[in-house]
Structures are given as structure tokens and as C-alpha cells.
Amino acid sequence: MDNNNLEQITFGGGCFWCVESCFNMLKGVQSAISGYSGGHKDNPTYQEVCTGETGHAEVVQITYDPSVISYEQLMDVFFFLHDPTQLNRQGNDIGTQYRSVIYYKDDAEKAKAEEAIKVSQESGRWAGTYVTELTKFDKFWPAEQYHQGYYNENPTQPYCSAVVGPKIQKFKKHFGEMGMLNAE
């Protein structure tokens, strides 16, 4: 990858363990880092974010090479990995920290995000109205080290085996067939 042309995108689609592990498998993604954005507290901890009182969402910040994978392809993956019609939750994970949110850096990126929401909603992938927030990016706080690559390190942990694992298998089948995954 050409490090001079890398771009970043930050978004939340529920539990970051599910989202981060999938994005790290994609061709063109240099890194996907779990963290927190959108709140009012500097350097929040996982325990603080879980209370819902910091205003932060669990997010993933992706650094990618747009000559290998496009913004639109990343958005397609984003909308594949979570249900954007669920307000402040994903399945049994409930709270504002699990909201569907895209953080944009400028008006051009906001317009691309609006178009991605429209395209995904019109695809009929998810029944219902999308509740994905569009929010101006402010700060990203990396999550504690033990959250980085959590699924890879803890595949037999009950939540990982019941929720994350099946989601990853579905993701690998779909995007593997499209040739978008790095070789294992």
C-alpha cells in the first residue's frame, strides 16, 4: 500500500469486536482500530463508555488505501455488518454506545455518506428506515489494548462464539466470494 495516499474513516456499527475483526480482513485496509468517538469525555475507558453517560459510541477507525478499496465498498461492508434500522442497539447490545453512526470529516465526505445510506436503504438489505447518524468527526480515542483484535485472541469467549463468530463467517463467505479479502 502507498502510505502517502491513505485515508481514514470512523464509524460505529454496534459492538466494535464484530466490526473491527472483519475490516482487518479486507484488501486495502491497513488497519482497523477499535475505539470511542462522539462523546464529551477525554480518554474514556470501556467501563465509562458502557454506562452510556460519556456520549461516546463504540467505533472503528479504518485506515485504507482508496486505490485498492473505495469508500463506497467500505460503506457496503459497514451496512452488511450491522442493522442500521435499530436505534441505539445491535441485537442484545443495547445503549447509545452501540448506535449506528458515520463520522465525516468534511462536506464532501458527508455527501458520500448520505449517498451510501441512500444506496443501502434502497437495496432492501434491511427492512425499515435507517437510523444511522451522520456526525462531524471530532476525536477518536483508541480503546484499551485488550480490545484490539479481541475476537482473534478470544474466539471461544461466549459472546464471541455466539455473536461475533457467526457474523464473521457470514462476512467471509459474502466478501470472500467477491475477492475482497486478504489471503489467510
The grid coordinates listed for 148 are 484490539
Largest CA distance in the chain: 42
Catalytic residues, by residue number, are: 15
CB count within 10 Å of CB 174 equals 14
| Neighbouring-strand partners of residue 61 | 10, 33
Contact 157, 127 (CB under 8 A): no
Q: How many CA atoms lie within 13 A of 9 on its CB side?
A: 26
Contact 27, 182 (CB under 8 A): yes
DSSP 152: H
